[in-house]
Amino acid sequence: MSSALNSHSIQDVTGLPVYANSVTPFDGGTLFLARTPSGRRLGILAPRESACHSRFAGDVTERGEQLLGVCPLTHANALALREALSWLQPRLLGMQTSAGCGDRLGLATPGHVRAARQVQEHFREPVLGMIFAQQSIREMGRTARTPDEVLDDATWGTFQEGWRAGVGADADHLKTLADLERCAAVGYSFFTIDPGDHVDSLADDAEGQALLAGFDALPWAELEITPTDLRLRYANLRLDLDDRVLSVDSLELARAAVKYGRALAHTVRMYRRLLNIKGAGAFELEASVDETDTPTSPAEHVFIASELKRLGVRWVSLAPRYVGRFEKAVDYIGDLQALDRDLAAHAAIARALGPYKLSLHSGSDKFTVYPILARHARGLLHLKTAGTSYLEALRVLASFDPDLFREILALAIERFEADRASYHFSARLEKVPPPDALADAELPNLLEQFDARQVLHMTYGSVLTSERGFRTRLLEGLAAHEEDYYAALQRHFVRHLQPLIEV
């Protein structure tokens, strides 16, 4: 029996509007997601003798020879659903081309699923590994969400759309052991370590005695090597790449060590703590140095990868700081030819010293970059997106509630100076039109304006935690117009995902 027929049959019995793709046979009964006047609910329709109902907490009523359970979307029920349906449990993605879809509102996963399904519909097997639960610790703090909530929201969205091709879950930009432990306890499968606070970008310009002093002051005990032995390791290194032989001279080594030595020690501490918590082979690690002031040179990439390997770290992807500007919510800013050369070098190093995937952070809306990265990475790539789903929500909001959109824009303008810290941006506040300067029909197009996009992107935390109730009003409005939101996300994310597999 097809899912569509099952959903109609369930609706006939229960009177509940059912999300057709969610209908799943289980333990002699059927699980599904339904709309109710109180919001989405997990539904269970099963014979009296089935043990299906005992797994979940909710209200149970009789429906002829069957029992109907209607359960709230609680954390306990999300845990039970992941336990019941293995395809909802975060898993390892390995070397498969992959993408992470951040979701600041907890409503975007169905749209992400539809985009991922569309770009892969002509392939016999999945060609993209998808991460629908992805949020950085910084974003969790600014949106007042917990690791549990992020994972659970993605679980319900994945179940709603019936995505059975497997999912990862990314605890993104982890900086502390405490945050790492919080996410590991919840069940995340992918851990992005961000040692950016330990990167010394001043090493790029250090000379002579200052550079030597920085080199001598490195935490050599934590790096588990002596300065002399480190120099010997690279003295005769010759790395054969696609179109060049790469070596690391003594000056490049000193700069790389001073710039990244402490970041490597921090990454190793985080990795070894994960090993203690989860065990070898039970998680995937991404090493990230992208949120730093200066680019990662090819020689520095070789140093990072070589030293992580020497220290016993196993990682699936690495995010260098590429040349140019990867600002939030807008396309790449810089010389595309220079980026082409840079990505070619980094991809060749990743193949030679791994293989491992190159990761593109701040990857939302980098439409000019995706084909270049895909061509050089040859499938070994991971894309991270985050705030662009929130911006699509605002675009949809502008079409059905222009007054609320104007209120949000006004708060964004008010809060921009305070909220812009920690972001690389080029937006100029004076270029953002005042909320009352545009007609209702013009508001959705404001999401195409460079400065407005960045201002709205950077102020999401103030909007979602505002005492004016913007979060509740936005979520309720999107729930009432969910198909419009899903359609907008699907269109937008197809543009992100399609180029990754068109090589």
Known catalytic residues are: 172, 286
| Cα–Cα dist 387/398, whole Å | 17
Tokens 């190793």 belong to residue: 268
Give me the residues paired with residue 46 across strands.
67
| Cα–Cα dist 265/275, whole Å | 15
Strand, helix or coil for residue 341: helix
Are 331 and 371 in contact by the 8 Å Cβ rule? The answer is no
Provide the CA 314 distance to its chain's centre, in angstroms: 20
Are 29 and 8 in contact by the 8 Å Cβ rule? The answer is no
Length of the chain: 503
Strand 381-385 versus strand 98-101 pairing type: parallel
Tell which residue, 393, 406, 370, 388, has the closest CA to residue 454. 388
According to DSSP, residue 18 is labeled B
Collect all residues with Cβ–Cβ distance below 8 Å to 224 and sequence separation of at least 6: 310, 311
Give me the residues paired with residue 217 across strands.
none
What's the angle, vertex CA 441, arms to CA 435 and CA 446, rounded to 5? 50
Both tokens assigned to 477: 């409005």
What angle separates helix 402-419 from helix 470-480, to the nearest 10 degrees?
Answer: 140
Strand, helix or coil for residue 397: helix
| Cα–Cα dist 428/327, whole Å | 13
| Cα–Cα dist 160/149, whole Å | 16
Collect all residues with Cβ–Cβ distance below 8 Å to 491 and sequence separation of at least 6: 115
Strand, helix or coil for residue 49: coil
Concatenating the DSSP letter of every residue in 455-468 gives HHHHTHHHHHT-TT
Both tokens assigned to 200: 């010394």
Collect all residues with Cβ–Cβ distance below 8 Å to 389 and sequence separation of at least 6: 101, 102, 103, 104, 105, 108, 111, 112, 489
Tokens 């810290």 belong to residue: 421
| Cα–Cα dist 132/150, whole Å | 9
